[in-house]
Structure 1
């Protein structure tokens, strides 16, 4: 059995210490094989904020970690840095690739850098990125859970969030579904959801889900939605193939509590 802990939008610089402690406790209780942080690691891409994120990642009880940048991880006010060295602090302090990949016997997780320094908050996936990920998905083993990660979402549940959708997501969703993806993870809007993409792409050849995490530890919660993360459980021996996605919300008495659990039936060629 494999456990993946999906967190997003930590926004270090606005983190709440008690929520950080609770998230570490959740990771300790579940011992994830992989922690995925799907962007907006920091609030303003400052070195001290990246150092705080690095300190957290160094002590989180996970066998492996995978981090992607978000739009907040590019300098906003330092225009020279934004144009000429947008990822310097991210790469020098975190020492993480911009498009990470993780593979085990039961997992294939592919990162897509959807940030664009000249576009500010708007995310984009290029045709080359779509092809690269699709080709890699086709190399997955029959028993691997196939996961793609980008910061901006490919599915909106509110009209007000349509402006936040990943540019180029229509072509990406169709290509990645055809290549065998099971889940597309993201964040950005601080609003967790688990939605079948066939709701908006009825012509997809197979089942594939959009899975968003809320803000993991930041005070920048959205409305009445609390700090929220996801745990994904998968066993390659399950027949029929399936995975379980759990949403965990922070609340009284100062810890993350199970808020939702859903079993997803997977399709294999």
Structure 2
């Protein structure tokens, strides 16, 4: 059996230190095969926030892949946002959008953030054709028989949570990923966990959202997902801080 811990929206700068310590303790005790972080490591993409995130992630001592969230692009420096939006990620470069190949499982990244959009709310998701093509190429290269999990920040379609993603190109991307053989899409952004089977032309795809380890909770307390894959079956448990299990 493979076990993955899926966490999102840590928001260093507005992090919940008790939640971070609780999660790190669970990682140390249970030793998952990998940790998947689906975006928003930081609150305002400040260098100090990235430094704190790097220290915390490295201390977990497990393979980690990190997606870029909308909060991870510079907010207060237009030049940096448009010209060098990922410069502060360089210390984390080996973790960013890192494909993971584990026994029987491939985790493939998909970029859903944009430095600019033709709408007022730039926090919402956007899957460009270029980003989708890059991900589809990685899916095509996964070993035969692997369970393929897509990791991105924004839900590709909204799933009924209080917050929305309104991801442009999301439905098109979901159909293409399903046709390519993706089994599930792991996301964050909305700060509440969910797990639904979404119908597509190629069959249902699991949409799995993680909650938050920050102070910016919505309908649920700080939480993370434990994703188990055994004999080809995928099972998800949501662990909430302060609750058993």
Aligned residue in 2 for 1:267: none
Could you tell me whether the CA contact under 8 Å between 2:65 and 2:96 is conserved in 1? no
Shift of 1:159: 7.7
Aligned residue in 2 for 1:172: 173
Aligned mates of 2:72, 2:14 — CA distance in 1: 13
Aligned residue in 1 for 2:9: 9
Aligned residue in 1 for 2:240: 249
Aligned residue in 1 for 2:82: 83
Aligned residue in 1 for 2:192: 191
Shift of 1:160: 5.6
1:18-167 equivalences under 5 Å are 18-62=18-62, 64-91=63-90, 93-96=91-94, 98-119=96-117, 120-158=122-160, 161-162=163-164, 164-167=165-168
Q: CA RMSD in A?
A: 1.8
User: Could you report, residue by residue, the CA deviation over 1:128-177 in whole angstroms, capped at 9, with x for unpaired residues?
Assistant: 32233223323333432211111011232338644x23210111111110
Could you tell me whether the CA contact under 8 Å between 1:155 and 1:197 is conserved in 2? no
Could you tell me whether the CA contact under 8 Å between 1:32 and 1:61 is conserved in 2? no
Aligned mates of 2:179, 2:140 — CA distance in 1: 9
User: Could you report, residue by residue, the CA deviation over 1:191-241 in whole angstroms, capped at 9, with x for unpaired residues?
Assistant: 11001111xx4xx222311000011x210001x311111111113xx2xx3
Aligned mates of 1:10, 1:161 — CA distance in 2: 16
Shift of 1:97: 6.2
Aligned mates of 1:221, 1:12 — CA distance in 2: 14
Q: Give the secondary-structure state (helix, strand or coil) at the position aligned to 2:125.
A: coil
What TM-score do you get using the length of structure 2 for normalisation?
0.91
Mean CA deviation greater in 5-14 or 106-115: 106-115
Could you tell me whether the CA contact under 8 Å between 2:154 and 2:189 is conserved in 1? yes
Aligned mates of 2:28, 2:113 — CA distance in 1: 31
Q: Return the match for 1:226 from 221, 224, 235.
A: 221
What TM-score do you get using the length of structure 1 for normalisation?
0.84
Q: Give the secondary-structure state (helix, strand or coil) at the position aligned to 2:50.
A: helix
Q: Give the secondary-structure state (helix, strand or coil) at the position aligned to 2:241.
A: strand
**Which 5+ residue runs of structure 2 have no aligned equivalent?**
none
Q: Return the match for 2:206 from 203, 206, 209.
A: 209
Could you tell me whether the CA contact under 8 Å between 2:65 and 2:95 is conserved in 1? no
